[in-house]
């Protein structure tokens, strides 16, 4: 599999499954077999996640990426053995960081939900080809990650503007919107992955979906108030 297909979600999922370390191996930089340079994308993903791991209290050395050719078996074995040794020195995930397992799991789940938003917000940087290894360390900064997480949006459907057209429901990739015919739609904040698909799908004439940053999402209206009563057309 091309390292360019490595998704941040794969790595977060591994840590949620209590894997102590994740290793990514890719083709040598500038030697992409598919001319897509997916290995640079994988590098940027790793650099981004290392900073996120640090932000949530995880040792970033639990994630490692290296580049080599398929003919360098001895080098591969050496790198993997050294990484395995390093992970054993660090210790089990959570315990080594002296962080409660449930707290760490909660933080990882929150990051997992933000992955679609993060990929959109950092799309340009993730597509950057970094030629100088000296730039790796500060390509993503701690302050940048903090701003990224703190400014994560939530989406809310204004009950006074929703026309129950079902368009956002059909477009939502994770079925996070509840609704139906003549029923005001509601976004399940636990399921929402903050991708912004709903706000793009909502017709401009309705403008019912709102982006909310930095404040709590308004409480959903009661079931009794969700029914839309259409006015009969005059004959």
Query: Does residue 186 contact residue 178 with C-beta atoms inside 8 Å?
Result: yes
What is the reported pLDDT for 38?
A: 87
- Please tell me the distance from the alpha carbon of residue 21 to that of residue 11, in angstroms, as a whole number: 9
Q: Where are the domains of the chain?
A: 3-150, 154-225
- Please tell me the distance from the alpha carbon of residue 216 to that of residue 41, in angstroms, as a whole number: 34
Tens place of pLDDT per residue across the chain (235 aa): 788 889 999 999 999 999 999 999 999 998 877 777 889 999 999 999 999 999 999 999 999 999 998 889 999 999 999 999 999 999 999 888 888 889 999 999 999 999 999 999 999 999 999 999 999 999 999 999 999 999 999 999 999 999 999 999 999 999 999 999 999 999 999 999 999 999 999 999 999 999 999 999 999 999 999 999 887 654 4
Name residues whose C-beta falls within 8 Å of residue 146's C-beta, 6 or more positions apart in sequence: 55
Name residues whose C-beta falls within 8 Å of residue 84's C-beta, 6 or more positions apart in sequence: 21
pTM of this prediction? 0.85
What is the reported pLDDT for 3?
A: 87
CATH of domain 154-225: 3.30.70.20
What is the reported pLDDT for 233?
A: 54
At residue 110, φ and ψ (nearest 5 deg) are -65, -40
Q: Strand pairing of 209-212 and 154-157?
A: antiparallel
């Amino acid at each position: 599999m091309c390292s360019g297909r490595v998704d941040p979600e794969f790595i977060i999922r591994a840590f949620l499954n209590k894997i102590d370390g994740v290793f990514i191996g890719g083709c040598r930089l500038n030697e992409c077999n598919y001319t897509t340079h997916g290995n640079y994308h994988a590098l940027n993903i790793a650099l981004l996640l290392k900073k996120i791991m640090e932000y949530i209290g995880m040792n970033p050395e639990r994630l490692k990426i290296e580049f080599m050719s398929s003919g360098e078996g001895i080098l591969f074995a050496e790198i993997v053995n050294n990484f395995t040794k390093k992970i054993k020195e660090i210790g089990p995930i959570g315990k080594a960081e002296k962080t409660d397992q449930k707290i760490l799991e909660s933080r990882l789940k929150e990051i997992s939900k933000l992955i679609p938003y993060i990929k959109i917000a950092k799309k340009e940087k993730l597509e950057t080809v970094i030629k100088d290894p000296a730039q790796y360390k500060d390509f993503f900064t701690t302050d940048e990650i903090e701003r990224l997480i703190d400014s994560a949006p939530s989406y809310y459907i204004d009950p006074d503007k929703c026309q129950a057209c079902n368009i956002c429901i059909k477009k939502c990739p994770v079925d996070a919107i509840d609704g139906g015919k003549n029923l005001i739609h509601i976004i399940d904040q636990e399921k929402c992955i903050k991708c912004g698909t709903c706000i793009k799908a909502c017709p401009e004439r309705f403008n019912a979906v709102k982006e909310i940053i930095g404040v709590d999402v308004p409480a959903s209206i009661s079931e009794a108030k969700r029914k839309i009563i259409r006015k009969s057309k005059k004959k």
